[in-house]
Amino acid sequence: MEKILIIEDEESILMALEDNLKLEGYDVASARDGELGLSKVMENQYDLIILDIMLPKMNGFDVCRRIRQEGISTPILMLTAKSQEIDKVLGLELGADDYVTKPFSPRELIARVKALLRRAKPQEQGIEFYHFGDIEVDFKKYEIKKKGKQIYLTALEFALLHFLIKHKGEVVSRDAILDEVWGNDVFVQPRTVDKHIAELRKKIEDDPPNPKFVVGVRSIGYKFVE
């Protein structure tokens, strides 16, 4: 369940937001002033923050600035008052992702919330099922078949293949592969990528030394083609 924090002091707006978001299946938390809102953001993990500008104790701009200064990248949807164009611009400059102008309809707000949540998770919009050559892959079930026969890939090889297919036709560098498949905080030599690519080729290619799908691009990286 996705968690949304609403930082808003106007009771009626807060209640309406809470009700509508809960109806949509979100887990909703709230704070009625800027300071409390900020401390909640520091202490908990949210998927989205809805932030009003005019707030007691600390205004929404300062809350937004502080959140970004702390390196927290949770999407922020700002609530701005009608016709205050300057607020929208300032909010976006401070690191807000989008804004909704008051008064807004629940429907409009929900649409913005959904769009922001979707945008925030591009990596998770992965490919579930893919077919190339005589290979069929089900990334969700971690199953792969070659000529109708089950073959075995490690979780890392699945991730590697998924990344390459996602970037079909593009050259991806070893560093990009390391960042995405191994993760930023793991220290691995770029050559490790080559080793795993070789293993993957042995499993999926008919003639691994002359690969048809996972091709090397000299001194840069790899490319998935079909």
State which residue, 87 or 157, has the beta carbon closest to Ca ion: 87
Q: How many CA atoms lie within 13 A of 31 on its CB side?
A: 26
Q: What are phi and psi of 59, to 5 degrees?
A: -75, 165
DSSP E strands: which ranges in 170-224?
A: 171-173, 214-217, 221-224
State which residue, 54 or 176, has the beta carbon closest to Ca ion: 54
Q: How is residue 86 annotated by DSSP?
A: H
State which residue, 52 or 87, has the beta carbon closest to Ca ion: 52
Residue among 16, 29, 36, 54 that touches Ca ion (CB under 5 A):
54
Is 194 buried (19+), middle (13-18) or exposed (0-12) by CB count in 10 A? middle
**Residues 51, 62 contacting (CB under 8 angstroms):** no
How far apart are CB 88 and Ca ion at their closest, in Å? 16
- 62 belongs to the binding site for Ca ion (CB under 5 A): no
State which residue, 10 or 136, has the beta carbon closest to Ca ion: 10
How far apart are CB 9 and Ca ion at their closest, in Å? 5
Residue among 28, 47, 52, 97 that touches Ca ion (CB under 5 A):
52
State which residue, 59 or 173, has the beta carbon closest to Ca ion: 59
Torsion sign, CA atoms 185, 183, 64, 10: negative
In the window 5-24, what residues touch Ca ion (CB under 5 A)? Answer: 9
d(CA 175, CA 154): 20
**Binding-site ranges for Ca ion (CB under 5 A):** 9, 52, 54
